[in-house]
Amino acid sequence: MSNLLDTINHLASPSLISKTATALGESELAIQKAIQGMLPLLLNKLSISKSEQHGSLTQLLMQAGSAEQMPEVLLEDIASQNNESIILGIGSQFSDEILDNKQVSLSNLLSNYAGIKSSASGSVIVICATLIASFVGKKMKEEGLSFNSILGWLSHHTNDVSNAIPSAFAFSDVARTHERPYSLIFR
């Protein structure tokens, strides 16, 4: 597994998994499975985003990367089920943008894959999108990278990220890419 995937998976700390499971009424193992399946899929979707999305994605990533004390705030917002969370709002907008309005389909797939309620899977998607946006946004900010530079950096990890996407998503329109055939993006 690449260092990028190790880093991304470590964003889903035991505390985050536990608080998410408690808030959503699901088991920690199911939430962990859902998060570990969703993180590479969302990272892949970011890496193949359409050029017309780059401006809005740059703004969202910079907002997420500038969020102070993001892990702590995210944990508090999950635990308190804060429906007005600014950081989760950024994650929601980010997922809307990269998933091309296919969240319901993905939510159903994730629900079946991880064995969680559809309502819980929708929340997991937003939490994972928040983690990805924050991680990538911080990298952009700290290293002074443009969106195109981030895409170039992500391109070095394409095979590892694509191979980490669960095969349960293989025939989904949500996971379909416009650049690579299924055989290259799913394990």
Structure confidence by residue, pLDDT tens digits, 8-26:
888 889 999 999 999 999 9
Q: What is the band of 182 on the pLDDT scale with cuts at 50, 70, 90?
A: very low
Task: Give the Cα separation of 143 and 117 in Å (integer).
Answer: 39
How much is the pLDDT for 176? 55
HEC string for the chain: CCHHHHHHHHHCCHHHHHHHHHHHCCCHHHHHHHHHHHHHHHHHHHHCCCHHHHHHHHHHHHHHHHCCCHHHHHHHHHHCCCCCCHHHHHHHHHHHHHHCCCHHHHHHHHHHHHCCCHHHHHHHHHHHHHHHHHHHHHHHHHHCCCHHHHHHHHHCCHHHHHHHCCHHHCCCCCCCCCCCCHHHHCC
Q: Which of 23-27, 79-83, 130-134 has the lowest mean pLDDT?
A: 79-83
Residue-averaged pLDDT of the chain = 85
How much is the pLDDT for 173? 63
Q: Inform me whether the pLDDT recorded for 89 exceeds 70.
A: yes
pTM, two decimals, is 0.88
Q: What is the band of 187 on the pLDDT scale with cuts at 50, 70, 90?
A: very low
Task: Give the Cα separation of 78 and 69 in Å (integer).
Answer: 14
Q: Work out the percent of the chain whose per-residue pLDDT is above 90.
A: 53
Q: Inform me whether the pLDDT recorded for 183 exceeds 80.
A: no
Q: Inform me whether the pLDDT recorded for 1 exceeds 60.
A: no
Parse the chain into domains and list their residue ranges: 3-185
Q: Inform me whether the pLDDT recorded for 115 exceeds 80.
A: yes
Q: Inform me whether the pLDDT recorded for 2 exceeds 70.
A: no
